[in-house]
Structure 1
């Protein structure tokens, strides 16, 4: 027997192995090299399987991987995965398309990873980990594309690196909740929209460029803080050089006494105005919504707004005043809202909404929440500012908010045409909503939701409450998403009971939500828009995915599409509607791993052809 005969077989095997190896993208090798540097005891990255690709087009196959339209990895979103270890970002330098990196809320420790090797990054999120130590001045040198940097709630010390201040395109910076010391540098970027330096050990004056940002530290002075730098410097200069430690504690004690006195006065005022308790009174489970006057009176009374003395005592606090987060809106206060004419728009277990017409004729919506006690005031303020920075044609902007421990008010703009639910299910209007309008609404909703996913990557569920009552319509019937991104501040039990994202299959089966929970809500909304039926997520509704799946696709046009819409859609539009039904089903897939990605859904929706004939008049639904 020829001893060399097995050689061709060996060659064939090697060729097959090499061929199989060539089928996987180089990005897969890079990610495996990165994975080898971290600890994944909980198996969060178990979908990173050898001999598979992380991307199929722009659809991701691996947990936490974001893919672009060319099938390359352009982001890592490894949030809330119980990952740990000391990160080495070196291998990621071989991903030329990598634009974002997020490891929020994990157990990573050690010093700052060398992100200077990843010069193409636009966003870095390291908040809520265990990083520590000083940051070298050159930590972010060369990262000229970096726009968003969040290092919040770690254990970093030392000065703020000069390379951070030198970032030319920086838009958002979160360094709060660390131990940074020294002076705040002058930032080079003139595009800064958000800076949070609170809860550190910083000293000196606040630079003019961030005077409207959150920079509250005990050692800082200047705007927006209520500490005069001249007073601070004169106090320091008047103290004896030989005994600085003698006067500083006295100055600190004096400040504490004044603060305690102010708080005591406020407490006395509130306690004297508090209504006496009523005993032995039976309270019915259902009661009418409080009037706008009752709501405002309660807020003003508790904040000390009922007397001249209490107004003065609370002037320097956030209690009793609206905090504005949107520029370009005329300023008003609680008294203006109290004087305005108003009507109740909606009332329920989740929120009570009022329309308030201000003296200048502007209409605003005031929403009253009683179940927003998940976070403290500082975190609540930060989240509201983040929402105030959002700007998109398909979002209803947050204008201002009012904070009290037991209840919150959110003030938004007013949508002229009310809600999509009114449009779809109002008996007077339903038959008037043509297919062109419904397609336009779906496209707008998908665009608005995708914007939230891009801007709020740190949130596991960027919207959280997507349904037809939370899609409002302007005078041209463009959709405006509202009540978005509230899960981080809602009481968990209340959110799980009432918010749309918690109706998804993964929460029903495993009591968890994920990024695709919003996608499931989008799918249900698409089916609701096309069938005209109330979904099962609402009382007395229909299981829409089951309904559509029970009918053969060739019969969808006659048996599934809303039969009250007249006229019957033309061939081009009908084809688009059938495809849109399929997109809705793909978004409603029970298994979230198989569920459509949001970007894929958006691309498919935008590719749909709308009706080509005629102009479509706006519908009056006032």
Structure 2
């Protein structure tokens, strides 16, 4: 009897547990069902081919590869959403997202979402990364907007229209290491973030007051464009003192003293004018202030010089704007703008300055342009100012002096192609994949072809094409820079540093042709495909052209293999080696040492335009493209146990 009763109780317990499991399973929707439900809340998602392969009959993941566009996978497990640049809009269904227990990172950057910030804290404390940049979100953020999100490490909300104060709930996130809120309309003061290794970018908002001492070691560019911010690393805050009552006698004496000083100044100016002394070198001292690295460029010297020699400023201290569609500023604005040194190259130094037009600009300072007269220089710059193409960095303004020149362009915040190919990357910055590299080389070639068309009288429409002169915007669209400078750079300096003078035809015969820029394009293609830095840019003397081109030729000559390609492109994911080989052949044809056998630019452009992201004809997915902001998305190669809740060896 006891045994029978015990068996009965075990059977009853088994039934109860089975019932609970069935009930639990019935109440919890599957991940595919939840994702499709989330998709239904998005506009343009159903019609968009980007999410067209979301199908509940297909597994989400196979190993580290996703079978659904826009999903991130590791060891067969879905862990993140990467819905970037898909033209999506609508309302984010955070209630459904909160049921995705494995969701650790989410990016909807570069889309068309608008309205108030979604209630992201509903997603829960397990989220590690939230990427909302480059949408049209707006309105004030509740102070508790991020309350309870204890595990989040990176929050990117740049380039939206958020207003109000920065939520103090961000202070309660112990693992937060990066916050990007630049180019919004936040106001008020900056909270005293005290997290370890914390980085913030709050540029171009309406913030005010002293910068917290905890953030004093951050880059000044992280706070630029906020006119009322002060304290390190920006300009010191003004100290206010209590007003004291001044005796009437003191006021009278000060007035008399002021009149005497004024009389002395007027007499001195009369003597200066009478003796026709050379004017003070205001212009030189002003431009020299660009060497300084404080947040305000030469404001003190400029102010003193301006009072004494204002007429000289009007004559020589003028910025010439070459584009009618741009808001103008004067030299005074430039010299007083918060700025930082970007670097020093073969032509001179570059500075990023935050002038009062709403966005930063770059000032390039040239000392090696003294071989051209003022009128010819002005004419050449005006011709460059007429250029307009999506892949050509526009010239905004210039400044002329015999000894040195300034060229002003827009600031491109994603750096150069060289920095992405050869710079150090941290764990959350994936390398450029094949679709992104193909997109870049197509844009570069289009920009170069445009220069050929618009500057037909120049033998070298570019003359200095290399990876450090290809800038990338936040969508990884390339912008060709430092073009058409051969006519204005001193020839001795050009021969020493400019890429065109490293070409085979110049090394062998001191000859430049309309195909010389094609050779530079070829070297750039090989650099893009191999990930190797071309020694062609550095060495001088005969044979300098041989390094990268010869290495590629030697590998290819032995066998057509993938050994030549940069492993960081992750080619197996895209099934693209056939297309890559086509581009490699185009690059080698552009690098042909014999100019007569070298392909011309339009032939290269036509062949490059035909290249696809995949060897498959109907490949159309860009969901794994690296067309996101540097450091704004996780890579499955870079997952650590600290960032995600499951082990890499799980």
TM-score by length of structure 1 reads 0.51
Q: For residues 167-216 of structure 1, what are the alpha-carbon distances to aligned partners after superposition, in whole Å with 9 as ceiling and x for unaligned?
A: xxxxxxxxxxxxxxxxxxxxxxxxxxxxxxxxxxxxxxxxxxxxxxxxxx
Q: Tell me, what secondary structure is at the counterpart of 2:406?
A: strand
The answer as to whether partners of 1:292 and 1:354 remain within 8 angstroms in 2 is: no
Going from structure 1 to structure 2, the CA distance change for 1:290 and 1:274 (only over 3 Å counts) comes to closer
Q: Aligned to 1:489, what secondary structure does the other structure show?
A: coil
- Alignment pair present for 1:558 and 2:562: yes
Indicate the structure (1 or 2) with the bigger Cα radius of gyration: 2
| Residue-by-residue CA offset, 1:417-474 (whole Å, 9 max, x unaligned) | 0100011112217852100000000000000000000000011111001000000001
User: Counterpart of 2:396?
Assistant: 399
8 Å Cα contact 2:365-2:405 kept in structure 1: yes
Give the aligned partner of residue 26 of structure 1: none
**Aligned 8 A contact 1:266 1:310 in 2:** no
Unaligned runs of 5+ in 2: 1-271, 632-650
Query: Quick check: 2:299–2:335 contact (8 Å CA) kept in 1?
Result: no
Change over 3 Å in CA distance of 1:509–1:592 after alignment to 2: same
2:353/2:360 contact within 8 Å kept: yes
Cα deviation, residue 538, structure 1: 3.5
Aligned to 1:588: 591
Map 1:285-300 onto structure 2 (within 5 A). 290-291=291-292, 297=298
1:543 counterpart residue number:
547
Are 1:512 and 2:521 matched, yes or no?
Answer: no
Aligned position for 2:163: none
**For residue 408 of structure 1, what is the aligned residue in structure 2?**
405
264 and 453 in structure 1: CA distance in 2 versus 1, 3 angstrom threshold: farther
**1:557 deviation in Å?**
4.4
User: For structure 1, which runs of at least 5 residues remain unmatched after alignment?
Assistant: 1-261, 276-287
Q: How does 1:339-354 map to 2 (within 5 A)?
A: 339-354=336-351
Give the direction of change, closer, same or farther, for the CA distance of 1:567–1:516 in structure 2 (3 Å limit): closer
- Distance, in Å, in 2 between the alignment partners of 1:480 and 1:617 is 17
The whole-number CA distance in structure 2 between the counterparts of 1:266 and 1:323 is 29
1:415 and 1:472 in contact (8 A); partners too: yes
Match of 2:629 in 1: 620
Q: Is the 8 A contact 1:461 1:517 kept in 2?
A: yes
Secondary structure at the counterpart of residue 393 of structure 1: coil
User: How far off is 1:359 after superposition?
Assistant: 3.1
Q: For the residues of structure 1 that align with 2:340 and 2:512, how far apart are their CA atoms?
A: 35
What's the offset of the Cα at 1:360? 4.2
Task: Tell me, in whole angstroms, the C-alpha distance in 2 between the residues paired with 1:294 and 1:342.
Answer: 5
Aligned to 1:455: 454
Q: After superposition, where does 1:20-31 map in structure 2 within 5 Å?
A: none
Give how far 1:558 is off: 2.3
CA distance, structure 2, for counterparts of residue 544 and residue 526 of structure 1: 11
CA offsets 1:141-171 (integer angstroms, 9 cap, x no match) = xxxxxxxxxxxxxxxxxxxxxxxxxxxxxxx
Matches within 5 A, 1:204-219: none
Kindly tell me: are residues 295 and 445 of structure 1, through their superposed partners in 2, closer, same or farther at Cα, counting changes over 3 Å? farther
Change (3 A) 1:460 1:538: closer
Give the conservation status (yes or no) of the 8 Å contact 1:293–1:338: no
For residue 334 of structure 1, report the CA deviation from its aligned partner.
Answer: 1.9
Matches within 5 A, 1:157-176: none
Q: Is the partner of 1:345 in helix, strand or coil?
A: strand
Q: Is the 8 A contact 2:318 2:330 kept in 1?
A: yes
* Aligned residue number for residue 578 of structure 1: 581
Provide, for residues 377-423 of structure 1, a one-character-per-residue CA deviation record: whole Å limited to 9, x for no partner. Answer: 00000000000000000011000000000000000011120100011
Residues 305, 311 of structure 1: 8 Å contact kept: no
Report the counterpart of residue 482 of structure 1 in structure 2: 481
Matched-pair contact (CA < 8 Å) for 2:294–2:340:
no
SS of equivalent to 2:396: strand
Spell out, residue by residue over 1:515-557, the C-alpha distance to the aligned partner (whole angstroms, 9 max, x if none).
1110000000000000000001234898111111112369554
Please tell me whether the aligned partners of residues 351 and 363 of structure 2 are also in contact (alpha carbons under 8 angstroms). yes
Tell me how far 1:512 sits from its aligned partner. Answer: 1.9
Out of 604, 607, 619, the residue aligned to residue 604 of structure 1 is 607
Distance of 1:385 and 1:512 partners within structure 2: 28
> Matches of 1:320 and 1:533 in 2, distance apart?
44
Q: Which has the higher contact order (CA 8 A, sep 6+)?
A: 2
1:420 and 1:349, CA in 2 relative to 1: closer, same or farther beyond 3 A?
Answer: same
Which of 411, 414, 417 is the aligned partner of 1:417? 414
What secondary structure does 1:548 align onto? helix
Name the CA shift for 1:570/1:362 in 2 (closer, same or farther; >3 Å).
closer
Shift of 1:617: 5.0
Question: Could you say which residue in structure 1 is the equivalent of 2:325?
Answer: 328
Q: Shift of residue 291 of structure 1?
A: 2.4
Secondary structure in 2 matching 1:432: coil
Relative distance call for 1:272 and 1:495 in structure 2 (3 A) is closer
Distance apart, 1:361 and its partner CA: 3.3
Secondary structure of the residue aligned to 2:383 is helix
Instruction: Tell me the equivalent position of 1:268.
Output: 278
Structure 1 segments of 4 or more deviating over 4 A? 262-267, 271-275, 292-301, 539-542, 553-557
